Amino acid sequence: MDRFTFAGHDDNPFLQGPYAPTVTERVITDFKIFGQIPDDLAGVYLRNGPNPKYNPAGTYHWFDGDGMVHGFYFQNGKLTYRNRWIKTQGLIQEEGQGKSTLPGVFSLVNPAETKDTANTDIIVFNKRAYGLWYRSGMPYALDPITLETLGIDSFSDTLQSPISAHAKVDPVHNELRVFSVSMKQPYLSYGVINEEHKVRHWTPIELPGLRLPHDMAITTNYSIVMDLPLYYVHSPKGLRSYFDHTLPARFGILPRLGNEQHIQWFEAEPCYIYHVINAWEREHKIEMLVCRVTDPVPPLKDKAHDPLLNMVNFLGKTLKTAQYYYYCFDLKSGTAEEQPLDSRNSEFPVINQRYMGQPSRYSYHVLLDEVDLPLFSGLIKYDYLGKHTEAVTWPKPYVGNEPVFAPKAKASSEDDGYILTILTSCHQDQSRLLILDAKHITAPPLATIDIPAHIPIGFHGCWAEMSQI
């Protein structure tokens, strides 16, 4: 068996089936391939996600697992696969004791004590990969090819605060724009890291209280931070998340190197946004595409006293209102416009990263299955300008993961490239990697690669071209 089976957790679906953690770190170079790997596909596809190494001490939450990166390295039509745990300080501590000792989400009174697993996001910047965490942690640097953990990167001792997942690589200025969420004031900070490997700019941003933003957006000259009405409240069992339907969603737009006094705030209907698609400038306006969630804390009809059952119900429902959505912020008038662009339930969007912060047309999202668990049943391509979509459904017993876009070296258009995505088997110790034509995702795959290993469902990934690694 290639999957961990932890004693005492038989009823936890996030330790079973496609979510089950894998046992082994490995390197694979021999694959069964249907079709052909494109000769011009050169670079590395990295995917991060939770993979607990030891039997969880308490009730396991999907977000608790130790970060594990899966890497697919392409060169000259050949593929090498490897996977490695991110050697965080917490994991190293537990390896020394041979067991899980640090608290997870369900074990806490104070969420600030949560183990930093670096399991949420992975980016490549200045020829290093970085594992990032959704609650904000110090970035863990990795070799983008070997996946060896290089340790916490303080960027030449200039980074003094943790940063959140979903930092944005700015392709115009070759900078990394970041935000930081804290349990104490300042609750939100914004910064810019330059190509000299130093923090160039850092500023606190005043909020009315602790918030739980998950993403940000950038354009060439501006950054967009969020004050959404999701925050912690005290309860007899500690802090819990609460969504206030009476408060507006606020979007703060500041110049790329601006400070708090330069922020222009815009109000919109209450909502939550897990993931931004892209944003760009058009004359005196900022346009932004997102996956918008109507209610991130949906009521549970059959609310139980069992925290595990509540978690399963919550995670299954919280993404079920996510929709393709448009915002327009007028910097002159100070007004905001918003509208849904599609009624289908889609999330985990990706674009051609060469167009990050620039006007873009295409995005690729996962489709969510109509079940209680967050399982990805297919992929949809949106054409923002043409108002056209095409979608593909994955064959059972496979479920999907967030895709990545790999542009062709000599791309002639925005969608001239490849979509790579992992399919996870619900039952078997094998996975698949699909390579699709990004122009026509419903066409037969260019290559279907059988991976003789279990790759659990994960969170986020990235594509890095050869020049970036």
Known binding residues are 166, 214, 275, 460
Peptide bond into 186 cis (omega under 30): yes
| Per-residue buried b or exposed e for 341-355, using 16+ beta carbons within 10 Å of the residue's own CB | eeeebbbbbbbbbeb
Are 122 and 460 in contact, with CB atoms under 8 Å apart?
yes
Find all residues with CB under 8 Å of 379, minimum gap 6, and list them: 364, 365, 366, 367, 391, 392, 394, 400, 403, 419, 421, 441
Q: Which helix (DSSP H) or strand (DSSP E) does residue 128 occupy?
A: strand 128-132
User: Are residues 405 and 435 in contact, defined by beta-carbon separation less than 8 angstroms?
Assistant: no
Q: Give Cα separations from 56 to 4, 21, 70, 105 (angstroms).
A: 12, 12, 22, 11
Q: What angle do CA 330, 332, 338 make, to 5 degrees?
A: 15
Q: Would you state the structure tokens that stand for residue 271, as one six-digit string?
A: 């909502």
Q: What DSSP assignment string belongs to 364-433? A: EEEEEPSSSS--EEEEEEEETTTTEEEEEEPPTTEE----EEEE-TT-SSTT-EEEEEEEEESSSS-EEE
**Amino acid letter, 383:** D
Q: Kindly state the greatest CA–CA separation across the chain.
A: 61
Binding residues for Fe cation are 166, 214, 275, 460
For residue 466, give the DSSP letter: G
- Residue 451 is given by DSSP the state E
Nearest to 221 by CA among 249, 197, 255, 259: 255
Which residue shows structure tokens 């957790």?
A: 9
**Nearest 5 degrees, angle CA 173-CA 178-CA 182?**
165
In angstroms, rounded to a whole number, what is the distance separating the alpha carbons of residues 289 and 267?
16
- What distance lies between CA 266 and its chain's CA centroid? 25
Q: Which two tokens stand for residue 351?
A: 């674009």
Rounded CA separation 421/361 (Å): 20
> In residues, how long is the chain?
469
- Written as six digits, the tokens of 435 are 């390579």
Task: Catalogue the long-range contacts made by 384-388 (C-beta closer than 8 Å, 24 or more residues apart).
Answer: 384/289, 384/341, 384/360, 385/361, 386/361
